[in-house]
C-alpha cells in the first residue's frame, strides 16, 4: 500500500477535475481525496492510498492526459509532496 501526496496546477477548478479524479481512483481501487486550494484557484491537493503501481499509473495519467475530461480539465504541473491531508480531511473523497 502506497500513500502519495500530490499537488496539481492548471485548469483544475470549476471543470469537474476532482470528480473526474475520484472516478479514476475508484476504477483503480485507490482510496483517496482531493481539495481545491482556496487562495490559488489553479491548485488542487490530492492524497492517494493504494497499490503502488496503480497510484503511479494514475499520477502518470494526470501528467500526460490532455484534456482530462470534456470540461477541459488539464494539469500543467504536478508535484509529488512529502506530506499532505489525510484522505478523510479532503473536500471530496473515495473511500470504498
**Per-residue pLDDT tens for 20-55?**
999 999 999 999 999 999 999 999 999 999 999 999
**Domains in the chain, please, with CATH?**
2-72 (3.30.70.100)
Active site residue 18: yes
Tell me which of 11, 18, 31, 93 is the catalytic residue: 18
What torsion, rounded to 10 degrees, do the Cα atoms 49, 51, 54, 58 define? 20
Tell me which of 11, 28, 31, 36 is the catalytic residue: 36
Predicted confidence band at 72 (pLDDT cuts at 50, 70, 90)?
Answer: very high
Rounded CA gap, 53 and 90, in Å? 23
Rounded CA gap, 20 and 4, in Å? 18
Amino acid at each position: 500500500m502506497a500513500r502519495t501526496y500530490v499537488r496539481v496546477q492548471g485548469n483544475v477548478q470549476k471543470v469537474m477535475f476532482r470528480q473526474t479524479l475520484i472516478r479514476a481512483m475508484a476504477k483503480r481501487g485507490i482510496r483517496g481525496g482531493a481539495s481545491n486550494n482556496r487562495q490559488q484557484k489553479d491548485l488542487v491537493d490530492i492524497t492517494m492510498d493504494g497499490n503502488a503501481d496503480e497510484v503511479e499509473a494514475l499520477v502518470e495519467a494526470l501528467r500526460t492526459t490532455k484534456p482530462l475530461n470534456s470540461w477541459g480539465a488539464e494539469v500543467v504541473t504536478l508535484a509529488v509532496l512529502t506530506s499532505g491531508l489525510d484522505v478523510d480531511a479532503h473536500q471530496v473523497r473515495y473511500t470504498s
